[in-house]
Structure 1
Amino acid sequence: MSQSSYTPEFKAQVVREARETGNASLVARRHQLKPEMVRRWTREATKAAHPNPDALSLADENERLKKLLGERDLQLAVLQDLLRKKGIRT
């Protein structure tokens, strides 16, 4: 099979097998491929499934920041409550 004739379904199956077995060389041998090709396909599939975290959309970044702000506000409230219980003014 020439490189250009590998279907996306075939590549996905090879990647799935490589991930399940944890052995790209064994999967490559089973499908008469070069191990480097199986590793490359696996790497490419991982990249496609997990895009660059630095490329978050504005909405995703906004949600992340809202969550961090909420956590910070909760921490402040807990600390202020502890200070009040100790009789320390804030």
Structure 2
Amino acid sequence: MIPMKKNRQYTDELKEKIVQECQEVGNVGVVARRHDISANTIHTWIKKYRERGTAKSMKKQSVSNVDQQTAQQLQKVSTENDRLKRLVAEKELELTVLRELRDRTNPK
């Protein structure tokens, strides 16, 4: 039977150093063996690095904070949507007026 390794915790600095080393070396397996860390663990760090731009752990936000941020984003998007709808309506009106002018000056 193979003994199971204990769960180890790694500092954010070490994670970033190892991710950078993987980018330089180009081989996760080599870096994993060099540091005696599972390649799967390093792949997880690389994935987080690509998603967030950092390998640091994200602190969990409270649900109310997330809800508040979502509500603010929704309000911002809704306001932008209304502005764009008004702009489209203005442009449609301009087109209608221009078509009417064209038809008056150049009857078919």
TM-score, normalised to structure 1, is 0.57
% same residue: 13
2:33 pairs with one of 29, 32, 41: 29
Q: What residue ranges of structure 1 are gaps of 5+ in the alignment?
A: none
Which position in structure 1 is the counterpart of 2:19?
19
Q: What residue ranges of structure 2 are gaps of 5+ in the alignment?
A: 52-56, 98-108
CA spacing shift, 1:34–1:57, aligned 2, 3 Å: closer
Q: Number of paired residues? A: 78
CA spacing shift, 1:66–1:32, aligned 2, 3 Å: same
Higher helix residue share: 1
Larger-gyration structure (1/2): 2
In structure 2, what is the Cα distance between the partners aligned to 1:71 and 1:32?
51
Which position in structure 2 is the counterpart of 1:69?
78
In structure 2, what is the Cα distance between the partners aligned to 1:65 and 1:82?
26
Give how far 1:66 is off.
0.9
C-alpha RMSD of the superposition: 3.5
In structure 1, what is the Cα distance between the partners aligned to 2:93 and 2:38?
68
1:83 pairs with one of 92, 96, 99: 92
CA spacing shift, 1:30–1:70, aligned 2, 3 Å: same
